[in-house]
Amino acid sequence: MIAEIGFGSLFISLIISVYGVIAAIYGERNHQRKWVFSAKQAMRLVFPLLTLSIGSLIFLILNNNFEVVYVASVSSINMPVYLKITAIWGGQAGSMLFWSWLLAGFGFIVTFRKWDRDQDFLPWVIAICLGTIAFFVVLNTFFENPFVRYWQVNQEIVQSFVHPPGGIQVAPRNGGGLNPLLRHPGMIIHPPMQYLGFVAFIVPYAFAMASLITGRSDDRWIQLSRPWAIWAWLFLSLGLILGARWAYDVLGWGGYWGWDPVENSALMPWLSGTAFLHAVLIQEKRNMFKQWPIVLIIVTYNLVIFGTFLTRSGLLSSVHSFARSSIGPIFLAFIALTFIASFWLLSSRWEKFKSRQVLTSFFSKEALILITIILFLGMLVTTFWGVIFPNISELVTGQKVTVGPPFYERVAGPILGGVLVIMVICPLAVWSFVSFKHLGKLLWKPFIVSLLGVLLPIYGGLTKVPAVIAFWLVAFVLAVNGFEFIRRTRLRRRSQSESLFQTISGVFQRNKRSYSAMIIHVGMVFMALGIIGIEFFQTETQGTIAEGQELQLASYTMEYEQLDIFNTSDDRNVARAVILVKKDGQVIDEIYPRRDFYYDSNQQVTIPGVRSTLVDDFYTILVDWKAVTSEGATFKVYHNPLVKWLWIGAWTIILGVVVTSLPDNRSTRAGSRTRGRDGHRN
């Protein structure tokens, strides 16, 4: 019954979204507002319908309805409720439904904004959003239906949604359970964040396309999409960082990023999305390079779809996967349609979006931002090429190849360095022009402070040249931002008499965007610190030791205290080691690396024991143990300096985005536009 409700509402939402697309375009073509209005209502209706559908799926999972194939494949009786919720996106069909639901959610919210000034955009935004929703719902309805059930027909078990003639519904006694690797608290928020990030780019994309279709080439579409793009970017960043955290906590290889094709296909839209947000800035402030943001948002959205295709169609799947997804061909058709339509529109409106580019100085803010965009695009091209090359190579030579970390890092290292250099200069640079002399005047104080910041580690024995340069750049960026903040606060205090707190909050209020950018950039630098720490200074060792024996790494000593092996109520067999962490002979911490074996899915997961401080992480993995555990267990130990700053940086970035979207006093935004040509028609 519940499955019927779920599928029924899914199917109705498909019909309604197809209707909406047609109504929106028909209304626009014939200048009949009522049809567009009807299409808008359709878009509002799809979200509750899909909510009902996904709600049914949640109910089925929570209720252990294993006659539903999807439920049996991702859930089991003993799974706690939070994991059952996670199971919604634990498999292809469910995650697809979740994706459609989020997409519909964004469509739903968009309809509620005031459209008075943008009536001409409305039908196209509806058509694009609903068209995309319709596509994903088609996938769910005809190819990856999460409501398919098991039936017994003449001694044979068949999978079907509709009741086959003579069939009896059957259900396995228990489900296979969620993939153990996905049973991590991070997995509860990582996929939703990642999906939100991907899906939210539909809105800026729809605005951009509407702008191209209507030929309205002012910067209205940018004003409309910017907040959406920022939130999409934040979600995508969070998704990436949570994924990294999950890899660090669960995959047990001491790292957080492996340049795996699946990771890369999530990184690519982030790179172009970041480039987009910067290009928007140039257009808003200087009304230049108007073609760039529109190209970048189209590329970003297309990369989202492309990445989804790569990871879901089986094109990137492993040798072991017997299951071949059937969504490949139709997905390919959708991709072809999206790519061709986007770029065809773009090239046909190209001249309209031409703007006069004027660069007066290499040190002007726009020139620096332009270089930043180029750097991000460089990384994007490299990543893209690395992701697709193994497939090309297999076509040409018949040999499979791996394009792994060394390939990407060769490019990523210098690019990260370049971005840091720009982050030193950029906060001091001014729009349109800045003299080198002026820049020098602002730079020398932070420069000296940054030297102090790097001399300390050198004094402490740091010898790696790239690491010294990296540390120095990090210190420099922090110093520049600090000095700039003080300078601006002083400037304001001189002109107005108010308390320091008032001044600081006032400065923030006035220039919210540039300060939030400052915070986000500082967060980025913190993350760079973490990356530098692990890339240059990670050390590791492995050894088999008996109880009471020790292993040494960096300034730490670990003592193997004991190993317990026991079963848990949720069908796991846990082997958990107790490790004493010592420094200078003193016990400073106790950590528990363990290995969980899941009976229901016959898989094991290695969970590291980590002592984490601002300076470094001491990361231990239980590799193996002898039959008599007191005789010996094998541990792999990593020393990961500074890695905690990666997560601190992520939190800082969130703070920055939250600052930028604090209640807005509209005059500030209007004011910031006075410089640019302000030409919307109302």
Partner 1 sequence: MVTEIKKTSWVAALSILLVVCLIPAAVYAQGSGPSDDEVNAVAKQLYCPVCENIPLDACGTTACEQWRGVIRDRLAEGWSEDQIKEYFVAQYGDRVLAEPPREGFNWVVYIVPMVIFVGGGVLFITGIKRWRDSGQDRTLRRGGKKVPEPDKLSDDDIKRVEEELLKRSKG
Partner 2 sequence: MKKILLWGGLGLLLLFLTIGLIRSQKGQVSVGEIAPDFELISFAGESYQLSEYRGSVVVLNFWASWCDTCKPEAKDLEAAYQYYRSRGDVIFLGVDYVDTEPEALGYLEEFGVTYPNGPDLRTEISQAYRVGGVPETFIIDQDGLIAHVQIGPFRSLEDILLRIDPLLD
- C-beta closer to partner 1: residue 380 or 479: 380
In the complex, minimum distance from the CB of residue 424 to partner 1, in angstroms, rounded to a whole number: 17
**Adjacency order of strands within the sheet including 633-641:** 539-545, 633-641, 616-625, 609-612
Tell which one of 8, 48, 105, 328 touches partner 2 (CB under 8 A).
Answer: 328
> Comparing C-alpha atoms, which of 196, 262, 202 is closest to residue 231?
196
Binding span for partner 2 by CB under 8 A among 216-224, 237-245, 312-320, 424-432:
312-320
Q: Tell me the two tokens of residue 491.
A: 């400037």
- Beta-carbon contacts of residue 22 (< 8 Å; ≥ 6 apart): none
In the complex, minimum distance from the CB of residue 150 to partner 1, in angstroms, rounded to a whole number: 30
391 binds, among partner 1, partner 2, none (CB under 5 to 8 A by kind): partner 2
Residue window 150-189: x/- pattern of binding to partner 1, with contact defined by CB under 8 A: ----------------------------------------
d(CA 167, CA 159): 11
Tell which one of 378, 418, 457, 506 touches partner 1 (CB under 8 A).
Answer: 378
Binding span for partner 2 by CB under 8 A among 59-67, 179-187, 339-347, 418-426:
339-347
In the complex, minimum distance from the CB of residue 405 to partner 1, in angstroms, rounded to a whole number: 6
Residue window 538-567: x/- pattern of binding to partner 1, with contact defined by CB under 8 A: --xxxxx-----------------------
> Comparing C-alpha atoms, which of 158, 195, 129, 147 is closest to residue 11?
147
Binding of residue 597 to partner 2 (CB under 8 A): no
658 binds, among partner 2, partner 1, none (CB under 5 to 8 A by kind): none
Binding of residue 601 to partner 1 (CB under 8 A): no
- Beta-carbon contacts of residue 561 (< 8 Å; ≥ 6 apart): 547, 548, 577, 578, 579, 580, 590
> Comparing C-alpha atoms, which of 663, 649, 648, 643 is closest to residue 247?
643
Q: Is 459 exposed, middle or buried (0-12, 13-18, 19+ CB in 10 A)?
A: exposed
d(CA 346, CA 341): 8
- C-beta closer to partner 1: residue 131 or 261: 261
- C-beta closer to partner 1: residue 149 or 488: 488
Residue window 261-300: x/- pattern of binding to partner 2, with contact defined by CB under 8 A: ----------------------------------------
Phi and psi based region of residue 662 (left: phi greater than 0; alpha: psi -120 to 50; beta: remaining): beta
For residue 581, the cross-strand partners are 558, 589
- C-beta closer to partner 2: residue 388 or 545: 388
Task: For 34-48, give the DSSP string.
Answer: HHHHHHHHHHHHHHH
Tell which one of 8, 48, 55, 314 touches partner 2 (CB under 8 A).
Answer: 314
In the complex, minimum distance from the CB of residue 382 to partner 2, in angstroms, rounded to a whole number: 16
- C-beta closer to partner 1: residue 32 or 668: 668
- C-beta closer to partner 2: residue 170 or 315: 315
Binding of residue 191 to partner 1 (CB under 8 A): no
Q: Tell me the two tokens of residue 61.
A: 């999972």
How many CA within 13 A on the CB side of residue 363? 13
d(CA 265, CA 273): 13
In the complex, minimum distance from the CB of residue 96 to partner 2, in angstroms, rounded to a whole number: 18
Binding span for partner 2 by CB under 8 A among 32-40, 94-102, 320-328, 667-675:
320-328
326 by DSSP, 3-state: which?
coil
630 binds, among partner 1, partner 2, none (CB under 5 to 8 A by kind): none
d(CA 1, CA 623): 47
β-strands 550-553, 539-545: how paired? unpaired
CB 225 within 8 A of CB 207: yes
Q: Tell me the two tokens of residue 2.
A: 């519940």
In the complex, minimum distance from the CB of residue 320 to partner 1, in angstroms, rounded to a whole number: 7
Tell which one of 332, 486, 491, 587 touches partner 2 (CB under 8 A).
Answer: 332
In the complex, minimum distance from the CB of residue 347 to partner 2, in angstroms, rounded to a whole number: 6
Binding span for partner 1 by CB under 8 A among 79-87, 426-434, 478-486, 645-653:
426-434
> Comparing C-alpha atoms, which of 475, 482, 504 is closest to residue 492?
504
d(CA 533, CA 528): 8
| Three-state secondary structure readout of 607-638 | ECEEEECCCEEEEEEEEEECCCHHHCEEEEEE
d(CA 430, CA 445): 18
The footprint of partner 1 on residues 607-626 (CB under 8 A) is: 623
β-strands 168-169, 616-625: how paired? unpaired
DSSP H stretches of helix in 496-538: 500-510, 512-537
Cα end-to-end span (Å), the chain: 51
Binding span for partner 1 by CB under 8 A among 68-76, 80-88, 328-336, 359-367:
359-367
Binding span for partner 2 by CB under 8 A among 14-22, 138-146, 306-314, 611-619:
306-314
Tell which one of 98, 233, 309, 334 touches partner 2 (CB under 8 A).
Answer: 309
The footprint of partner 1 on residues 259-278 (CB under 8 A) is: 260-261
Tell which one of 343, 407, 485, 597 touches partner 1 (CB under 8 A).
Answer: 407
Rg of the chain (C-alpha set)? 28
The footprint of partner 1 on residues 479-498 (CB under 8 A) is: 491, 495
Residue window 374-413: x/- pattern of binding to partner 2, with contact defined by CB under 8 A: --------------x--xx-xx--xxx-------------
582 by DSSP, 3-state: which?
strand
Tell which one of 59, 339, 433, 447 touches partner 1 (CB under 8 A).
Answer: 433
Angle, alpha carbons 521-419-192 (nearest 5°) = 55
* CA 651 to mean position of chain CA atoms: 14
Residue window 328-357: x/- pattern of binding to partner 1, with contact defined by CB under 8 A: ----------------------------xx
Q: 532 to each of 53, 246, 642, 643, how far by Cα in Å?
A: 46, 20, 8, 8
Q: Tell me the two tokens of residue 37.
A: 């209005």
Tell which one of 335, 468, 578, 648 touches partner 2 (CB under 8 A).
Answer: 335
Contact residues toward partner 2 (CB under 8 A) are 309, 313-315, 317, 319-322, 324, 328-329, 332, 335-336, 339-340, 343, 347, 388, 391-392, 394-395, 398-400
List interacting residues with partner 1 (CB under 8 A).
Answer: 251-254, 258, 260-261, 317-320, 356-360, 362, 367, 374, 377-378, 381-382, 385-386, 389-390, 392-393, 396-397, 399-407, 411, 430, 432-435, 438, 491, 495, 510, 540-544, 604, 606, 623, 634, 636, 667-668, 670-671, 674
